[in-house]
Amino acid sequence: MKKIFVVLIVSMVFFAFAQKTYSQSAVYFCTETGAYGYAYGYSYSDVFTKAYDACINYGGTAPVLITSTENRGYGAIALGKDSNGNRVIGVALGYSTLSGAKAEALRQCENYGGYGAYISDNWNDR
C-alpha cells in the first residue's frame, strides 16, 4: 500500500511539472514592419523560438519580445494604428476569461497610442 501511495504522489508531481512546462506563451513584435508572432503551449525552451520564428515568417525583420508568461489561460492580441500610421500592439496572456483577455489587450493597445484597436487573435491555453 505504501509503495502505491509513493507511486501516486510521484505521478502527481510529474503531471504538475509537465503541465507547467508546457504552459508557456510568448509574443514578439517588429516595430520596423508591424509584423508579430506568437506561440503557446510549448516548453519554455521552445515557445520563444516558435514565437520569434512566427514573427519572422510574417515579415518581421527585428522582432522584440513583447511579453511572455508561464500561466495557462486565455490570450489575446489587439492591433491598432498610431497617429503616424504605424502598427501598435496590445497583448494579454494567462487570463481566466476570454472577455478579460480581449479587454486588456484592447486597453494596452490604446494605452500605447493605438487608434481603431481590434482583436486580431485570441486563444485558450488550458
* Residue 55 phi, psi (nearest 5): -65, -45
Grid cell listed for 11: 505521478
Other CB atoms within a 10 A radius of the CB of residue 111 amount to 11
pLDDT of residue 45: 81
Grid cell listed for 35: 509584423
Q: How many domains does the chain fold into? A: 1
Q: What is the pLDDT of residues 52-99, one digit of tens each?
A: 999 999 999 999 999 999 999 999 999 999 999 999 999 999 999 999
* Owning domain of residue 40: 2-125
More confident residue, 124 or 8: 124
At 44, the pLDDT band (50, 70, 90 cuts) reads: confident
Other CB atoms within a 10 A radius of the CB of residue 59 amount to 13
pLDDT value at 11 more than 80: no
Torsion of CA 55, 60, 66, 67, to 10 degrees: 10
pLDDT of residue 18: 40
pLDDT value at 8 more than 90: no
pLDDT of residue 2: 47
Percent of the chain whose predicted confidence (pLDDT) is above 90 = 75
At 22, the pLDDT band (50, 70, 90 cuts) reads: low
| Contact (Cβ atoms closer than 8 angstroms) between residue 37 and residue 52 | yes
pLDDT of residue 110: 97
